[in-house]
Amino acid sequence: MGQQTLPGFRDFYPEEMAARRHLDAAWHAAAAAAGFREIDGPVLESLELFTKKSGDEIVGQLYSFEDKGRRPVALRPEMTPTLARMVAARAGALPKPVKWYSVQRFFRYERPQRGRFREFFQWNVDVVGAPEPAADVDAIAVAVDGLRRLGLGPQDLAVRINDRRFVHELLRGIDVGPEQEAQVLGLIDKLGRDPKAPERLAELLGDRRAGELSGWCENLPLDRAPALGELLEIADESGLRGYLEPDFRIVRGLAYYTGPVWEIFARGASLRSIAGGGRYDGLIATLGGPDLPALGFGMGDAVLTELLAERGLLPDGAPVLDAYVIPVAPEMLASARDVARRLREGGARVDLPYGPVKPRRGLKDANRAGARHAVLVGPDEWADRSVRIRDLTSGSERLVGVDELGASDVLAS
RNA sequence: GUGGGUGUAGCUCAGUUGGUUAGAGCGCCGGAUUGUGGUUCCGGAAGUCGGGGGUUCAAAUCCCCUCACUCACCCCA
């Protein structure tokens, strides 16, 4: 075997590209339908932009290097820092709320595994300048709508949601101090997956407090979380009934989340989460911008593609043509090219062979190219300024005049 | 970074206790008398058996090393 892709990088053959475009289309449509506008930024950024948000530890997970001007740079691992900069630069001029989205390529230097690559595509949707819980619901609804457009409904998906403020409050109630909090949050996050997590929580907090905590995981005391209750009510009004499941185990990795946090999972599948998001009110200020409330989510292509493939919801990626033009005799090649041009100018997707072919072969190639119609250009018909259009599904043929070929409905049948 | 699994044709795989020239299906290319396809039939190309070393009269097969891929852990912005 010769050269292959770097580990965690993928070639997209037409079939895979069709699948990717399928996701893209749903993502763009869902974001646009809710009034989000598309943005983008550079793939390469200064390393500092990322370390400022996440600390120096993440350098190990970045594609970073020095450029020829000796600047430390990195391929972007996420969109949020870029978004924050863009907002900060024009914060005064932007009407609030700012509703932006992007569908872009990201890079993380991690060991590739199921549902995780080093180069991946991610849909990011963010709202800046809106403190209301309706904004959180807006983002969740867009994520759910994107997935709905891909054929996934409430029977397939669960949006598990929690609220960081609520978690802080409960932890404070059992005397978990700030110095312990990060560690405890990490263990809570693991409760669903790691069988050793309850044990370690008990070691850290003692049986009584650990027991109380796991009780919240069994049954989240919503009466003590008014903000989350309000959000759930708005979600109901927004058509998200059946999706949202309050879950104390959803806390999400890093420190900067300040309010609702949520992740979307596939029901009955052992996949990692499809999407995750939350409110990060302090982050834009941390990154040097104005103090604006913000929230958003990211949804990657890797896990989602895996899920859609499992459920048979991906397009097969077979080629599609409206017509394949066949010169019935070698001297008809020039005429065939003229016919193809007329059809293409009429808006049809049309292909034809580069040289003479036997009709038998032409029909075979038409099928293989996914053509709905074969257009046979033969000397007898051409003498009458017409061609034979054959419907490849039904096998029926009809004669069509050359001058009609540019009409948009000529291949309609 | 740690641990497990797998490497044979473009793809999915078979290959017996080590034994002649390593196979199948799909795909690809060509063909089955004149201007009509999908099915079928015939033919063909295609493999340093991941790489290196060792044991043996003989290695795809046994042993060692190495590389790649993959799954999980760590991490998940």
* Span A153-188, pLDDT tens digits: 999 999 999 999 999 999 999 988 888 888 888 888
A111 CB neighbours strand B below 7 A: yes
- pLDDT value of residue A413: 63
- Is-contact A343 A350, C-beta < 8 A? yes
Phi, psi of A65 (to 5 degrees): -165, 175
| Å separating the CA of residue A62 from the C1' of nucleotide B1 | 15
Separation of A1 CA and B55 C1' (Å): 29
Nucleotide nearest to A193 (CA to C1'): B73
Question: In three state form, how does the secondary structure of A229-247 look?
Answer: HHHHHHHHHCCCCCCEEEC
Neighbouring-strand partners of residue A98: A128
A260 class by beta-carbon count within 10 Å (0-12 exposed, 13-18 middle, 19+ buried) = buried
The verdict on domain A14-310 having CATH code 3.30.930.10 is yes
Tell me, what's the pLDDT at A1? Answer: 42
Which positions on strand B lie below 7 Å from a protein C-beta?
Answer: 1-2, 28, 31, 34-38, 50, 68-77
Q: Which residue is nearest to nucleotide B72 (CA to C1')?
A: A113
Distance CA A146, CA A36 (A): 13
Separation of A233 CA and B74 C1' (Å)? 38
Q: Residue with CA nearest B9 C1'?
A: A1
Q: Helix (H, G, I), strand (E, B), or coil: what is residue A107?
A: strand
Whether the CB of A395 is less than 7 Å away from nucleic strand B comes out as yes
Q: What are the backbone angles phi and psi of residue A55, rounded to the nearest 5°?
A: 90, 165
- Is A379 within 7 A of strand B by CB distance? yes
Whether the bond between A97 and the residue before it is cis, its omega within 30 degrees of 0, is yes
Is the CATH number of domain A321-404 3.10.180.10?
no
Q: For strand B, is any atom closer than 7 Å to the CB of A327? A: no
Across the 413 residues of chain A, what is the mean pLDDT of every consecutive 10-residue run? 76 89 97 98 94 83 93 95 94 96 95 90 97 98 98 95 93 87 86 79 87 88 93 96 93 85 90 92 90 96 91 88 95 96 95 92 93 95 96 93 90 76
A264: which strand partners?
Answer: A159, A275
What is the pLDDT, as a whole number, of residue A197?
83
- H-run or E-run covering A377: strand A371-377
CA A66 remoteness from chain centre: 30
Determine how β-strand A37-38 pairs with β-strand A397-401: unpaired
| Among chain A residues 187-216, those with CB within 7 Å of any atom of strand B | 190, 193-194
DSSP code string of A334-373: HHHHHHHHHHHHTT--EE--SS---HHHHHHHHHHTTEEE
The residues spanned by each domain of chain A are: 14-310, 321-404
Asked if residue A381 keeps its beta carbon closer than 7 A to nucleic acid strand B, the reply is yes
Structure tokens at A173: 């109630």
Q: Indicate the pairing of strand A371-377 with strand A386-391.
A: antiparallel
Complex-level ipTM: 0.86
